[in-house]
Amino acid sequence: MIITCPSCSRKYRLEDRLIKARFQKVRCSHCGHIFVYEHGAAQEDLEDQETLTNRDEHTGITVRKKRHLGLIISLVAIALLFIAAASAYFYWINTIGAADKWLRIRNTEGQETVTKDGKIFLIKGLIANGSTKPRKYVILKAKLFDEHGTVIGEHFALAGLPLSVEEVREMHGVEIEKKVADFRLSNLPAFVLRKGGELPFSIVFPDTYTGTPKQFTVEVVESPLP
């Protein structure tokens, strides 16, 4: 049977055996109000109410309502939200945030300069790592364009080697090539582009290009994760 507290309107489900008289004194376990329940009065259908626990006391019947279901649902919802947030974070760290698009080429400058035995076109700059992962090394590709936008030279370089205009002016062409080759074979920690770090780069075009360079571009073509 279903009874309702006249004070707080809390509803309880009682077993018939607990009502031993036509008029039964009952105490509400929610608000403490004591009232007289008339056995046989109209009852409400509360199939969707939580399970109730009943116990006898000296002054009547105390009805205690279990509240565990709502707490369990809340804890499960919090756990699911935590799992979803953690999954999104690790997906960002390992996939989206580690992409090459977070590598930035900055402070680039290029100019044609005369060496001791010829001329070169030197492009300098920095490669900055804004991604969530370090890189074992970074390979760059540069292109030279003439006044008509035609490609007149293309060159690849390993980031990490700084060369200044003043330095190459005091070198022969073979010395410059040897310095670049030695750097590529050195297997130095300078190859590593750390998370949040920067690497200088120098791209040297020998005088094999034709025409007069007017523009240049630099892009990342390879940057493997450790």
Percent of the chain exceeding pLDDT 90 equals 47
- Cα distance between residue 142 and residue 197, in whole Å: 22
Task: Check the CA dihedral 170-173-175-178 and report its sign.
Answer: positive
Same domain, 82 and 109: no
Averaged confidence pLDDT in the chain: 83
| pLDDT band at residue 53 using 50, 70 and 90 as cut-offs | very low
Q: How far is CA 189 from CA 8, 133, 135, 159, in A?
A: 75, 16, 11, 12
Q: Out of 18-22, 159-163, 198-202, 208-212, which region has the weakest mean confidence (pLDDT)?
A: 18-22
Q: Please give the tally of structural domains in the chain.
A: 3
Same domain, 39 and 116: no
CB-based contact 3:62 (threshold 8 Å): no
The verdict on pTM exceeding 0.85 is: no
CB-based contact 211:166 (threshold 8 Å): no
| pLDDT band at residue 20 using 50, 70 and 90 as cut-offs | low
Question: Does pLDDT of 131 surpass 90?
Answer: yes
Residue 182 makes CB contacts below 8 A (sequence gap 6+) with: none
* Neighbouring-strand partners of residue 218: 142
Same domain, 163 and 216: yes
Same domain, 79 and 149: no
What is the domain extent for residue 214?
100-222
**Residues 76-126: tens digit of each pLDDT:** 889 899 898 888 888 878 888 888 889 999 999 999 999 999 899 999 999
